[in-house]
Amino acid sequence: MTSVPAALYRRVQEFYAAQMQAVDGGDGVAYAATFAPDAIFTSNALPAPVHGRSTIEASTTKLTHARLAAGTVRRHLQTTLVVDPHPDGSLAARSYVLLVETAADHGAELYLSTVCEDSLVPDGDTWLVARRSVLRDDLP
Amino acid sequence: MTSVPAALYRRVQEFYAAQMQAVDGGDGVAYAATFAPDAIFTSNALPAPVHGRSTIEASTTKLTHARLAAGTVRRHLQTTLVVDPHPDGSLAARSYVLLVETAADHGAELYLSTVCEDSLVPDGDTWLVARRSVLRDDLP
Amino acid sequence: MTSVPAALYRRVQEFYAAQMQAVDGGDGVAYAATFAPDAIFTSNALPAPVHGRSTIEASTTKLTHARLAAGTVRRHLQTTLVVDPHPDGSLAARSYVLLVETAADHGAELYLSTVCEDSLVPDGDTWLVARRSVLRDDLP
């Protein structure tokens, strides 16, 4: 079991909460701003890695606007966060992100269970995602 | 991205965890005690705002006792908390609260996805909810 | 409402996150190592208490290997943690643990809603579970 300073762990929780609320609210610009300019985003749901903040911003904005236009609310519920500081000042952060969707005129439904594995780099008093790997539990 | 002192963020998490466990356990008195005497509770599920701790206590006690009598267990799972301190000493807190219900002889089911937006005011070493807005994702 | 030091609360969150990720990842050894050698594990789903770390390790390893072999991913999502320090240095910790499963070729499903009640004892800069009670919401 690793141990990180309390202030650090709290700031990482806070970072993720703000990031998840930004993307769920349809704010692709604020979401993308939490990634490094040269960030790499990989997933077992993607055919190839996505490179760069501007590409992340464009694709996130497109997808979230389509979802909001359809009247579907998505929530990224982040839990069970483990943070490991590395000697170079970066953090390895691994958490469970449960995606819950509520479509217009429907009840809430589990959409996906995922694991989010990030490399976070310091940026002033907060962090930027340098590399993100999203692993969907329903895909190999 | 805002940043709040570590001790503050932790105390707010702790405040919510105790509040959610109180209401799920059927303790309407302990739940209502986390609201200011003149608190205002609004929701897109309510026809009008609810005013005052004593009204919150009465309605919560009635609803939770009915649910427990029916053998239904409800859990308020709070995640993804963002806390913004205001200059007047109050806190704006926004979190996702997932309601999971387990009825007698049934498995667990997603009941609702909600967003909880509170204004918290200091009360000794803890907080009181001065205003709460609960937004159900399934309602406009 | 109780209040615990920020560093303590954070370390308990971190302890649980690492423990849940260990068991979900199939690492029965790391999971069992978070229990005291003479730990007692009770549940309303078990006919009798389980005694001792080595028994916990053996049964956890067997169950998780069977699940992983079947291609089912289980996640223990821990939320809503309340921590009460006791005068003897132990902690009473109560949290909601939502079990989400994703079977091969299926979407994510709620498996169980549970409450985890632990007595944690200090062990260097981390904790060991001395007693755990897991209460499934679907069982009396």
pLDDT at A3: 59
Residue among C18, C78, C108 minimizing CB distance to A113: C108
Average pLDDT over residues B34-49: 97
pLDDT at A38 over 90: yes
- CA B37 to centroid of chain Cα atoms: 15
Closest to C41 measured CA to CA, from C29, C26, C25, C57: C57
Q: Yes or no: say if B122 and B89 are a contact pair by the CB < 8 Å rule.
A: yes
Average pLDDT of the segment spanning A102-124? 94
Alpha carbon distance A78, A132 (integer Å): 15
For residue range C41-52, list pLDDT tens digits in order: 999 999 999 999
Cβ(B81)–Cβ(B12) below 8 Å? yes
User: Which residues, including other chains, have CB under 8 Å from residue B87's CB and lie 6 or more apart?
Assistant: none
Q: Is C70 on the interface with A (CB under 8 A)?
A: no
- Whether residue B77 and residue C82 make contact (CB cut-off 8 A), yes or no, is no
Count other Cβ atoms within 10 Å, centred on residue B45. 12
Q: Using a CB-CB distance cutoff of 8 angstroms, which residues of chain A are in contact with residue B16?
A: none
Is any Cβ of chain B less than 8 angstroms from the Cβ of C33?
A: no
3-state secondary structure labels for all residues of chain B: CCCCCHHHHHHHHHHHHHHHHHHHCCCHHHHHCCEEEEEEEEECCCCCCEECHHHHHHHHHHHHHHHHHCCCEEEEEEEEEEEEECCCCCEEEEEEEEEEEECCCCCEEEEEEEEEEEEEEEECCEEEEEEEEEEECCCC
> Are A18 and B96 within 8 A, CB to CB?
no
- B2 contacts A18? CB cut-off 8 A: yes
**Reduced to 3 states, what is the DSSP secondary structure of residue C51?**
strand
Q: Are strands B73-85 and B91-102 parallel, antiparallel or unpaired?
A: antiparallel
Report phi then psi at C84, rounded to 5: -120, 115
Which of the four pLDDT bands, split at 50, 70 and 90, describes residue A1?
A: very low
Q: Do A98 and C102 touch (CB under 8 A)?
A: no
Decide if C83 contacts C90 (C-beta within 8 A).
no
Q: Select the residue of C21, C78, C102 nearest A113 (Cβ to Cβ).
A: C102
Q: Is the CB of C1 less than 8 angstroms away from the CB of B20?
A: no
Does B96 contact chain A (CB < 8 Å)?
Answer: yes
**Residue C4 in this model has a pLDDT that exceeds 80:** no
With an 8 Å Cβ cutoff, is A100 touching chain B? yes
User: Over 80: is that where the pLDDT of C7 sits?
Assistant: no
What CA–CA distance (Å, rounded) separates C27 from C32? 9
Subunit contact A77:B98, Cβ cutoff 8 A: yes
pLDDT at B45: 95
CA dihedral B99, A21, C97, A110 (to 10 degrees): 60
C36 burial (CB, 10 Å; 0-12 / 13-18 / 19+) is: middle
Q: How confident is the model at residue B3 (pLDDT cuts 50, 70, 90)?
A: low
User: Does B67 contact chain C (CB < 8 Å)?
Assistant: no
Mean pLDDT for the stretch of residues A118-124: 95
Q: What are C69-84's pLDDT values in tens digits? A: 999 999 999 999 999 9
> To the nearest whole angstrom, how far is the Cα of B54 from the nearest Cα of chain A?
31
Please report the sign of the dihedral spanned by the C-alpha atoms of residue C14, residue C36, residue C40, residue C71.
positive
Average pLDDT taken over every residue of chain A: 94
Q: What angle do CA C60, C64, C70 make, to 5 degrees?
A: 155
The answer to whether C1 contacts B34, with C-beta atoms less than 8 Å apart, is yes
Nearest by CB to residue A3, choosing from C106, C109, C126, is C126
Nearest-Cα distance to chain C for A116, in Å, is 12
Query: In this predicted model, what pLDDT tens digit does every residue of B46-92 receive, in sequence order?
Result: 999 999 999 999 999 999 999 999 999 999 999 999 999 999 999 99
In whole angstroms, give the CA distance from residue A42 to residue A19: 17
> Could C98 and B100 be called an inter-chain contact, meaning their C-beta atoms sit closer than 8 Å?
yes
Q: Mutation target for C interface from B67, B75, B79: give the one with most C CBs within 10 A.
A: B75
**Closest residue in chain B to residue A20, using alpha carbons only:** B80
Asked if B108 contacts B102 with a C-beta cutoff of 8 angstroms, the reply is yes
Is the model's pLDDT at A2 over the cut of 60? no
Question: Pick from B5, B79, B137: which is nearest to A78 by CB?
Answer: B79
| Residue A7 with chain B: CB contacts under 8 Å | 5-6
CA distances from A107 to A102, A104, B71, B73, C99 (A): 6, 8, 22, 18, 20
Contact C6 A3 (CB under 8 A): no
B98 contact residues in A (CB cutoff 8 A):
75, 77, 100, 108
Question: Chains touching chain B at 3 or more Cβ pairs under 8 angstroms?
Answer: A, C
Percent above pLDDT 70 for chain C: 96
pLDDT band at B104 (very low <50, low <70, confident <90, very high): confident
How far A9 CA sits from the closest chain B CA (Å)? Answer: 9
**Which among B9, B78, B126 is the nearest to C3, CB-wise?**
B126
Residue type, C43: S
At residue B106, the pLDDT reads: 85
Asked if C6 contacts C97 with a C-beta cutoff of 8 angstroms, the reply is: no
Question: Across residues A125-129, what is the average pLDDT?
Answer: 92
